[in-house]
Amino acid sequence: MLKWFLRRKFWDLIALVKYFFAKPVDIKLPPTQWRHIYPKPMSEAIPKVPLDKVMVCPRGQIPRDERTLVPATFYDVQVWLYTTRWKPMQPDLPRIDLDPEVALKRAFNGLRRRLFHDPKMPAEYVPAPDLGLLAVRGPFACYTRRPRKNAPWQWDLRMLDKYEHRSGLVKIGSRVLFREDPVGRSLRAYRIECALGRIEPTDPEWGQACKIALCAASTHLSLVRHYNWVHLAGGAQLAIATRNTLPQDHPLFRLLWPYIYGTQQSNDMVTRGQMLPEGDFETTFSFTFTGMCDLFDATYGQYQHSVNDPKEDARLRGVRGVAFDTPTQQNLEELFEVIHDFVCEYLEIYYPRNATGANDVHSNTEILDWLDELDRLVPNGVDVDPKNFTWADFARMVAGQLYLVTVQHEILGSFMWNYQLWTDRLPPRIYKDSPREPLDVYQRLVNANYILNVRRRALMHNFNDIALDDKARAAMSRFQSALLDLQAEMESQPYAVWKVYPRDLKVNINA
């Protein structure tokens, strides 16, 4: 235990240093030129991560304006330390304390706790997780769907059983079935299909089945929806396509610049810290390194841009116009509409809806090249055919790109601070021999979530210096006012952990 005490203090210090010295980046005007980026399979760019389908920017092609020596060197040293005797993990440690408050206090203490707030337990976890409430409130609402008319509402993550789990763990592939409660305008879970069998609320195994289902949702959300889809399939390809096709003084480039700045450098560093052998993903979640790689390769091509349009995503999942309340859906739609209104106003300045000639968005060569590049790079394209699209479709797609790197990145990333650390309710793994995880697994989970909450450039920030002219600056100022108005409206209502507030949004996945 003395060895563990020293090891834990060492890695706590690293987390503290990273948090303390992380500052919101100063997003300056873009450079006048840069080299074309040619994505390669991750297995070529980072040979120790054998993913053949996931495309990334090789380290040698990272734009010069993104390269920062100190953070990159720090990450390289950290990754090297994963392979030394001071690695974060130590075999055969005791399990965390039975009391979740005690476990958290031991793992999150000292100056780290003074610099950032304690996680807040969601009301949906008290006294035990209510899957029906979590199906409509909070980050897991994105899994709620009805595959066809008259089918039950469900979370279906049975596919996770296909990927190799670590020895001693229960497989987490599962499906939760819900039925509507018309009186309470809510959903109620009535069956969980998992490694324990077909479990119903009256069965003694119901509590454990809930943990398996939540573990599956949390794992898929962190690995697939957050890192694979937002960082790799979505955000990285948006940034590459924008740099490859649009000149720095193009109106669309200036609109997108704050949202794509620093993407390739950030992804390269974080990928090495989280996805290499002994990285955060392999040592925290259920899968072996091989299983994790297989999951990433299989799900990269499943990315759909429609997840970045809340109304369209809800339509595809069947949750529009339903008989139960969908508060998170409403929250996300309100955020999207503020972004969408801004994008429409901005595009009207340079490419009016009914314009002809040079100001027609359909005849702008750079925009058409950008759409072609997005369709080539983004798995399954971006739902806008470069040869046949409407102005409204284009504006909604662009708004979806901003939503991807702001709202989606928030609710799937740093937002999980309040959900993943209560491991008596939502464990990162399901052990066959114990209801609790070892000290090193929990500590790494805490530190990883802590680092996700470093200070970054807020969306509610003045980016007017990037605008091309006064009209664009005025549109950006009105966007900030609209965000402030929505923030004030939400603050006039009771606070809830499941709500995404405008003040919490960051302008991109790196800043």
Percent of the chain at pLDDT exceeding 70: 100
Backbone angles phi, psi at 145, to 5 degrees: -155, 160
Residues 20-71 have pLDDT tens digits of 999 999 999 999 888 999 999 999 999 999 999 999 999 999 999 999 888 8
Distance of alpha carbon 115 from alpha carbon 451, whole angstroms:
12
Say if CB 74 and CB 419 are below 8 A apart. Answer: no
206-214 mean pLDDT: 98
**Average pLDDT of every residue of the chain:** 96
Per-residue model confidence (pLDDT) at position 405: 98
Residues 60-99 have pLDDT tens digits of 999 999 998 888 899 899 999 999 999 999 999 999 999 9
Give Cα separations from 180 to 136, 319, 412, 426 (angstroms): 12, 12, 26, 24
Exposed, middle or buried by CB within 10 Å (0-12, 13-18, 19+), for 271?
Answer: buried
Residue 511 reports pLDDT greater than 80: no
Tokens 């405008």: give the residue: 502
Per-residue model confidence (pLDDT) at position 69: 87
Domain with CATH 1.20.245.10 in the chain: 2-122+225-504
Q: Which residues pair with 180 in a beta bridge?
A: 187
Longest dimension (CA), the chain: 74
Residues 212-262 have pLDDT tens digits of 999 999 999 999 999 999 999 999 999 999 999 999 999 999 999 999 999
Residues 351-391 have pLDDT tens digits of 999 888 888 999 999 999 999 999 999 999 999 999 999 99
CA neighbor of 270 nearest in space, from 76, 423, 121, 113? 76
Q: What pairing do the DSSP bridges indicate for beta strands 40-41 and 186-194?
A: unpaired
DSSP 194: E
Exposed, middle or buried by CB within 10 Å (0-12, 13-18, 19+), for 394?
Answer: buried
Residues 387-444 have pLDDT tens digits of 999 999 999 999 999 999 999 999 999 999 999 999 999 999 999 999 999 999 999 9
Percent of the chain at pLDDT exceeding 90: 95
Residues 128-154 have pLDDT tens digits of 999 999 999 999 999 999 999 889 999
Residue 122 reports pLDDT greater than 80: yes
Distance of alpha carbon 46 from alpha carbon 156, whole angstroms:
32
DSSP 227: I
The DSSP secondary structure of 1-49, one letter per residue, reads -HHHHHHHHHHHHHHHHHHHH-------PPPS--PPP--EEHHHHSTTS
95-120 mean pLDDT: 95
Per residue, what are the HEC states of 232-276? HHHHHHHHHHHHHHCCCCCHHHHHHHHHHCCHHHHHHHHHHHHHC
Distance of alpha carbon 49 from alpha carbon 386, whole angstroms:
34
Confidence of residue 508 (pLDDT cuts 50, 70, 90): very high
CB atoms within 10 A of CB 288: 15
Give alpha helix (H) positions in 408-496.
409-412, 417-420, 439-452, 470-491
Per DSSP, the three-state class of 105 is helix
Say if CB 132 and CB 467 are below 8 A apart. Answer: no
Backbone angles phi, psi at 507, to 5 degrees: -75, -20
Say if CB 426 and CB 211 are below 8 A apart. Answer: yes
462-475 mean pLDDT: 96
Per DSSP, the three-state class of 351 is coil
Exposed, middle or buried by CB within 10 Å (0-12, 13-18, 19+), for 325?
Answer: middle
Question: Which residues, in sequence order, are CB contacts of 186 under 8 Å at separation 6+?
Answer: 132, 133, 136, 180, 324, 325
CATH 1.20.120.420 fits 2-122+225-504, yes or no: no
